[in-house]
Amino acid sequence: MTAVNESERQEVEVLLPWHAAGTLNRRDTQRVEAALANDPELARRYALVREELGHTIHLNETLGAPSARVLEQLFAKIDAEPARRGSTSPGFGSRMSDFFATMSPRAMSFAAAAAAIVILLEAGFIASVLVKNPSVGTFETASTMGGAKAEGAYALIRFQPQASAADITTFLETNKLSFASGPIPGGLYKVKLAPAALPKDELAGLIKKLQDDKIIGFIAASE
């Protein structure tokens, strides 16, 4: 042994079984290969490791396989298990991840590039429309009553999903309210509470009172 000292040989020797099985990381693989190339005694011992590897596989392969009863036994046990909350069909997220998992890296890179191009084209189109027509993009609902600030006290209200039209009508009549605008995103309506602005405390009290109504999901003062 010339190029490899005894301590290095011992360190490498313990790695030989994993080298033979092909389960070493790249760095250790290179280390072992370099040592084997320079150390004939280590190479001889490596041949013994390979012999053990071959016979261990042979031995295990002659052990046979379990009988079909194991699968039957397993599913009988599974049947006896409490039902799962999840369904037997995979969800959308699971199907998507399966779909991407089955794509080859090349197909995946093509798909990603195509998606990026589509997004860029869309962004370009939207930008060009905005440049030509600057008013586009200013949100305005069909029922908005103009942009001028209106006089009065207002609140934004979201009704409970189960509230009927009759419930809402009754609620508005009872409290002498009227719709100012809406719906806006989020299912909100702007409701006129009073013809003139209310003092802060009075407005807060009114909001709290309205909030207690069972058909109200959300309410907040608005300008």
Partner 1 sequence: MQTTSDEVLIARIAQGDRLAMQVLFARHHVRVYRFLLRLVRSDATAEDLVSDVFLDVWRQANKFEGRSAVSTWMLSIARFKALSVFRRKPEEELDDEIAGAIEDQSDDPEITLAKKDKGAVLRHCLTSLSADHREIIDLVYYHEKSVEEVAGIVGIPEATVKTRMFYARKKLSELLKERGIDRGWP
Q: Which residues bind partner 1 (CB under 8 A)?
A: 13-15, 17-18, 20-25, 44-45, 48-49, 51-53, 55-60, 63, 65-67, 69-71, 73-75, 77-78, 81, 83-84, 86-91, 94, 97-98, 101-102, 104
Q: Residue 114 CB, nearest distance to partner 1 (Å)?
A: 21
User: Amino acid identity, residue 144?
Assistant: T
Least distance to partner 1 from the beta carbon of 68, Å? 10
Residues 126, 127, 131, 135, CA torsion sign: positive
Minimum distance from residue 33 beta carbon to partner 1 (Å): 17
CB of 2 to partner 1, least distance (A): 20
CB closer to partner 1 out of 88 and 135: 88
By beta-carbon proximity to partner 1, the closer residue of 73 and 143 is 73
d(C-alpha 54, C-alpha 66), whole Å: 23
- Is there a contact between 1 and 41 (Cβ–Cβ < 8 Å)? yes
Distance in angstroms (rounded) separating the CA atoms of residues 4 and 43: 12
* Distance from C-alpha of 38 to C-alpha of 164, rounded to nearest angstrom: 87
- What DSSP character marks residue 208? H
CB of 193 to partner 1, least distance (A): 49
Rank residues 106 and 149 by Cβ distance to partner 1 and give the closer one.
106
- Distance from the Cα of residue 178 to its chain's centroid: 42
CB nearer to partner 1: give 52 or 202: 52
Q: Max alpha carbon distance in the chain (Å)?
A: 101
